[in-house]
């Protein structure tokens, strides 16, 4: 078998030697356009897992690579004059030049023909071969020759970076963040030999232009970086090796082989340098290809096998690299974070490393994060008045002394005068009429009251109710609870009495008008199915039905708008009278207020339609009117669909504007939702599917956020909180929603309340705790 390999980088050399080792009779030649001694770049990094695969693949080269490693455990983050170290990350690096020397020598020893300094311009120059391996990098001429078959796509990153060296020995992978008059520069630096380190300097386009780096030649760029990093280099010299400012190009290729041609490493895929996996992926490709060729005598099967094995792995890394790249490109939004949180956010940026992972790697670091979080949380709390009598707000002595603190999930948070004792929010319970006493007219059902009570007893810091209608016409289903009748007020009054008398949980009432999603059957029977009979008329921003089967709503006129606004106000007043701790107004999931925000559902031509400023006008009017009657000391939350998930719909940039505006008008926190504006805009569901949206709203609009998204573990919650991606987390558990979970030993609210009344204790509790 005659094999031609184009490109003598790590992928090409390694593939060549591994195949030759298994099949000494094969005729293998490697063609490289550069001379043997010319190489670009400085050090390359490998994880311990990659090293283990090198050990299995070829022990001889592994031994030499191992002997020249630099291994370190720590990652340093230098930001705002502080250096924060996190240990336990086993990473090894080696000079790229040395790695190539080792691989070249081994290729020569095995009898592979190596040709340097020969550039290939067309595949016809190659003569006959049984297999052509394209390891010729991102600009692969082989891939370009069959572009329509391989279907590559290249996307350029927004940031500019330059790959430099320095004759300085670092003792950790070091992230450096430096701001100057031009903007922010970030540096990824790591040692790779006993004398030298890699320094990759990166900045956004505006900063790069402002610093005049578009006009700078190699020497000037070097001098600029030398000045920028003077403090970090501490006298050491930066080194250039034909280094240029470039944009990172991410290459994805739909197919990796065609007939007897196969793509390897950078010729098939690239992943942003910030996760340090380019060379690793390329060499792992080589191992997989050699393995497939050894296992299958049929070339087509072998190449199929190679592609099937590697593509999913590479795609996983490309996703993580994409997350990481986006993080560095949009880093500016995190500059408000304190160094400890900034570092935690940085270390968990790609979503692959969590709070628990870091705890295993470096418990001292995570304990410091816990202490910092608890300290910040407790010292920012002010006690006001007798009503909010929960007292965890003194900094625990253990924290003050630098010892132990609970994880972030158990830190208190204050919104206005309300102190929420921990960050766990339960909101999963769905209101259902009891099977025995079907309820109408918005009355709180006994089952649901029991569920809410159980959630509070289960240790929640905050419980948010299901949608509570502000009027009978605003219900989603006939058994939807409401707040528009004196009987509702007293029912909720009892509820809050139970909360305050027996638990430390706070209760938020979620006020809603269903809009065009109203007058439907119980959600147990599916969503948005109109009632069989007894439908009531619907209102919405415009006269568009929610589903093809739905009733057509009437577009609201001025009278309707005033009426609904007054309904919200009345409900808020009643909630205030009932002693509810917090309100949440629903402006998401396609209900009435949301229907004004989205251009998909608001086609109005009056002053409440058109651009965003006009579309948000009515929801803001309602918010202002509610805020005006709701007690000053109590917080209001808004549930907002951050994106419609549909082209031409409401987008995250709009949501950030709405969130900022709401904040100015006295909104205290945003609950992040997505989709359901129309039938076709559903998010890509999965664990934590709302976290990234919450991160953006919190850090760009500067308002606290609450986030759900199927979070079920303390690990997910602690990771989100410590990184500053949200301030409260809604916990999901299939059990929380299951009435069977509520056993007689848990709570029978009605009997409990009756016994209190009989014993004359209800009044006493009222006196002590107020409503």
Partner 1 sequence: MQVGVGLPTGVPGTHGQLVIEWAQRADEGPFSSLGVIDRLAYDSYEPLIALAVAAGVTRRVKLATTIVIGLLHNTAMLAKMSATLDTISNGRLVLGLAAGAREEDYIAAGVDYRARGKRLSEQLAALRSLWEDDRLRPAAARPHGPPILVGGLSDSGFARMARYTDGYVHGGGPPRAFARAADKVFAAWSDAGRPGRPQLWAQGYFALGDDEVIEKGRRYMRDYYAFTGPFAERIAAGLLTTPQAIAQFIRGYEDAGCDELVLFPTVSDLAQLDRLAGVLHGLGRRLS
3-state SS assignment for residue 596: helix
CB-nearer residue toward partner 1: 432 or 627: 432
Among 184, 249, 393, 679, the residue binding partner 1 under the rule CB under 8 A is 679
User: If you search the block for the tokens 């990234």, which residue do you land on?
Assistant: 692
The answer to whether the CB of 6 falls within 8 A of the CB of 141 is: yes
3-state SS assignment for residue 715: helix
Residue 526 touching partner 1 (CB under 8 A)? yes
Residue 383 touching partner 1 (CB under 8 A)? no
**462 forms bridges with which residues in the sheet?**
425, 506
Residue 738 touching partner 1 (CB under 8 A)? yes
Among 709, 717, 721, 742, the residue binding partner 1 under the rule CB under 8 A is 709
CB-nearer residue toward partner 1: 191 or 442: 442
CB-nearer residue toward partner 1: 419 or 673: 673
User: If you search the block for the tokens 């917090």, which residue do you land on?
Assistant: 582
611-650 positions binding partner 1, by CB under 8 A: none
Residue 715 touching partner 1 (CB under 8 A)? no
The least CB distance from residue 469 to partner 1, in Å, is 14
The least CB distance from residue 26 to partner 1, in Å, is 24
Residue 534 touching partner 1 (CB under 8 A)? no
The least CB distance from residue 685 to partner 1, in Å, is 4
Among 689, 746, 752, 765, the residue binding partner 1 under the rule CB under 8 A is 689
CB-nearer residue toward partner 1: 123 or 679: 679
3-state SS assignment for residue 275: helix
CB-nearer residue toward partner 1: 219 or 524: 524
The two beta strands, 173-180 and 183-191, are antiparallel
CB-nearer residue toward partner 1: 486 or 684: 684
State how far the Cα of 364 lies from the Cα of 385, in Å rounded to an integer: 38
Residue 524 touching partner 1 (CB under 8 A)? yes
Best CA proximity match to 573, nearest among 662, 488, 464, 479: 488
The least CB distance from residue 497 to partner 1, in Å, is 26
The answer to whether the CB of 446 falls within 8 A of the CB of 434 is: yes
The answer to whether the CB of 573 falls within 8 A of the CB of 625 is: no
Terminal-residue alpha carbon distance, the chain: 85
User: If you search the block for the tokens 């005033």, which residue do you land on?
Assistant: 562
The least CB distance from residue 268 to partner 1, in Å, is 17
The least CB distance from residue 519 to partner 1, in Å, is 15
The answer to whether the CB of 536 falls within 8 A of the CB of 602 is: no
Residue 183 touching partner 1 (CB under 8 A)? no
Sheet bearing 43-47, strands edge to edge: 43-47, 91-95, 70-72
User: If you search the block for the tokens 């020893």, which residue do you land on?
Assistant: 109
Among 24, 122, 534, 734, the residue binding partner 1 under the rule CB under 8 A is 734
Stretch that binds partner 1, among 17-25, 113-121, 271-279, 685-693 (CB under 8 A): 685-693
Among 7, 732, 742, 756, the residue binding partner 1 under the rule CB under 8 A is 732
Residue 682 touching partner 1 (CB under 8 A)? yes
CB-nearer residue toward partner 1: 164 or 646: 646
Among 158, 687, 750, 764, the residue binding partner 1 under the rule CB under 8 A is 687
Helix axes 339-347, 363-379, angle to 10 degrees: 130
The least CB distance from residue 430 to partner 1, in Å, is 4
**86 forms bridges with which residues in the sheet?**
75
Residue 260 touching partner 1 (CB under 8 A)? no
CB-nearer residue toward partner 1: 304 or 573: 304
Residue 523 touching partner 1 (CB under 8 A)? yes
State how far the Cα of 358 lies from the Cα of 595, in Å rounded to an integer: 43
CB-nearer residue toward partner 1: 290 or 711: 711
Helix, strand counts (H, E) of the chain: 26, 29
The answer to whether the CB of 271 falls within 8 A of the CB of 155 is: no
Q: Which residues contact 705 (CB under 8 A, 6 or more apart)?
A: 669, 670, 671, 672, 694, 697, 698, 726, 727, 728
The answer to whether the CB of 366 falls within 8 A of the CB of 358 is: yes
Question: Which runs of E-coded beta strand occur in 402-505?
Answer: 413-415, 418-420, 424-426, 462-469
Residue 684 touching partner 1 (CB under 8 A)? yes
Among 53, 304, 326, 714, the residue binding partner 1 under the rule CB under 8 A is 304
The two beta strands, 152-166 and 238-239, are antiparallel
CB-nearer residue toward partner 1: 43 or 709: 709
CB-nearer residue toward partner 1: 221 or 477: 477
Secondary structure letter of residue 482 according to DSSP: B
Among 204, 266, 284, 466, the residue binding partner 1 under the rule CB under 8 A is 466
Residue 151 touching partner 1 (CB under 8 A)? no
Residues that bind partner 1 (rule: CB under 8 A) add up to a total of 37
Among 35, 397, 686, 760, the residue binding partner 1 under the rule CB under 8 A is 686
Residue 136 touching partner 1 (CB under 8 A)? no
The answer to whether the CB of 555 falls within 8 A of the CB of 540 is: yes
User: If you search the block for the tokens 């999931």, which residue do you land on?
Assistant: 589
The least CB distance from residue 671 to partner 1, in Å, is 12
The tokens of 181 are what? Answer: 């008059």
409-448 positions binding partner 1, by CB under 8 A: 428, 430, 432
Binding mask 330-369 toward partner 1 (x if CB under 8 A, else -) reads ----------------------------------------
3-state secondary structure 490-528: HHHHHHHHHHHHHCCCEEEEEEECCHHHCCECCHHHCCC
The least CB distance from residue 307 to partner 1, in Å, is 8
The tokens of 561 are what? Answer: 């708008």
Binding site for partner 1 (CB under 8 A): 304-305, 308, 428, 430, 432, 466, 522-529, 532, 547-549, 675-676, 679-680, 682-687, 689, 708-710, 732, 734, 737-738
């Amino acid at each position: 078998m005659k094999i031609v390999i184009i490109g003598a980088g790590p992928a090409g050399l390694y593939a060549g030697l591994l195949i030759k080792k298994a099949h000494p009779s094969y005729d293998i030649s490697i063609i490289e356009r550069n001379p043997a001694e010319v190489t670009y770049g400085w050090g390359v990094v490998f994880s311990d897992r990659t090293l283990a695969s090198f050990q299995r693949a070829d022990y001889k080269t592994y031994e030499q690579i191992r002997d020249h490693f630099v291994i370190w455990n720590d990652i340093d983050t230098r930001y705002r004059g502080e250096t924060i170290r996190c240990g336990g990350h086993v990473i090894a690096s080696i000079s790229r030049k040395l790695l190539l020397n080792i691989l070249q020598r081994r290729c020569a020893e095995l009898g592979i023909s190596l040709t340097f300094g020969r550039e290939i311009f067309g595949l016809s120059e190659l003569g006959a071969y049984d297999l052509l391996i394209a390891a010729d990098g991102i600009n692969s001429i082989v891939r370009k020759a069959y572009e329509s078959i391989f279907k590559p796509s290249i996307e350029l990153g927004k940031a500019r970076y330059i790959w430099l060296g320095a004759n300085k020995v670092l003792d950790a992978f070091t992230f450096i963040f430096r701001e100057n008059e031009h903007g922010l520069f970030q540096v990824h630096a790591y040692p790779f030999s006993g004398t030298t380190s890699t320094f990759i300097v990166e900045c956004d386009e505006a900063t790069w232009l402002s610093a005049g780096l578009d006009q700078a030649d190699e020497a000037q760029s070097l001098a600029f970086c030398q000045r920028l990093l003077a403090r970090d280099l501490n006298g050491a010299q930066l080194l250039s090796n034909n280094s240029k400012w470039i944009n990172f190009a991410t290459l994805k290729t739909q197919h990796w082989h065609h007939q007897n041609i196969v793509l390897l490493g950078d010729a098939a895929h690239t992943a942003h340098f910030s996760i340090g996996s380019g060379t690793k992926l390329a060499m792992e490709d080589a191992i997989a290809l050699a393995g497939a060729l050894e296992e299958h005598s049929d070339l087509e099967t072998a190449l199929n096998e190679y592609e099937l094995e590697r593509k999913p792995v590479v795609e996983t890394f490309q996703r993580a690299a994409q997350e990481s790249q986006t993080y560095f490109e949009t880093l500016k939004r995190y500059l408000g974070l304190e160094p400890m949180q900034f570092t935690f956010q940085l270390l968990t940026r790609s979503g692959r490393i969590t709070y628990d992972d870091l705890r295993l790697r470096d418990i001292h670091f995570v304990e410091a994060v816990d202490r910092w979080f608890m300290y910040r949380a407790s010292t920012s709390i002010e006690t006001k008045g007798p009503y909010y009598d929960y007292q965890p707000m003194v900094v625990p002595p253990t924290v003050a002394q630098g010892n132990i603190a609970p994880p972030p999930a158990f830190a208190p948070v204050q919104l206005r005068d309300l102190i929420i004792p921990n960050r766990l929010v339960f909101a999963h319970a769905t209101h259902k009429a009891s099977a025995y006493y079907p309820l109408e007219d918005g009355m709180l059902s006994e089952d649901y009251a029991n569920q809410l009570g159980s959630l509070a007893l289960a240790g929640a810091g905050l419980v948010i109710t299901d949608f509570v209608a502000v009027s009978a016409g605003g219900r989603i289903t006939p058994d939807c609870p409401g707040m528009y009748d004196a009987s509702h007020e007293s029912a909720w009054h009892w509820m809050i009495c139970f909360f305050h008398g027996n638990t430390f949980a706070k209760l938020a009432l979620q006020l809603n008008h269903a809009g065009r999603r109203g007058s439907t059957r119980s959600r147990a029977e599916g969503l948005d199915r109109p009632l069989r009979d007894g439908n009531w008329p619907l209102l919405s921003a415009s006269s568009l039905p929610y589903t093809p089967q739905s009733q057509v709503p009437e577009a609201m006129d001025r009278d309707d708008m005033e009426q609904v606004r007054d309904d919200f106000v009345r409900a808020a007043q009643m909630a205030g009278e009932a002693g509810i701790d917090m309100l949440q107004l629903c402006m998401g999931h396609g209900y009435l207020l949301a229907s004004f925000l989205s251009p998909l559902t608001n086609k109005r031509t009056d002053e409440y339609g058109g651009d965003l400023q006009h579309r948000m006008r009515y929801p803001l009017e309602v918010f202002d009117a509610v805020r005006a009657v709701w007690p000053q000391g109590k917080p209001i939350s808004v549930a907002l669909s951050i994106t419609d998930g549909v082209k031409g719909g409401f987008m995250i940039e709009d949501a950030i504007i709405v969130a900022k505006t709401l904040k100015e008008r006295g909104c205290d926190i945003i609950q992040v939702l997505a989709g359901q504006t129309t039938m076709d805009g559903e998010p890509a569901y999965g664990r934590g599917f709302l976290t990234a949206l919450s991160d953006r709203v919190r850090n760009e609009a500067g308002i606290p956020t609450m986030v759900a998204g199927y979070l079920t573990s303390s690990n997910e919650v602690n990771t989100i909180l410590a990184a500053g991606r949200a301030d409260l987390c809604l916990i999901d558990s299939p059990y929380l929603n299951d009435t069977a979970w509520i056993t007689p030993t848990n709570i029978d609210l009605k009997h409990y309340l009756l016994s209190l009344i009989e014993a004359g204790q209800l009044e006493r509790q009222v006196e002590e705790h107020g409503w």
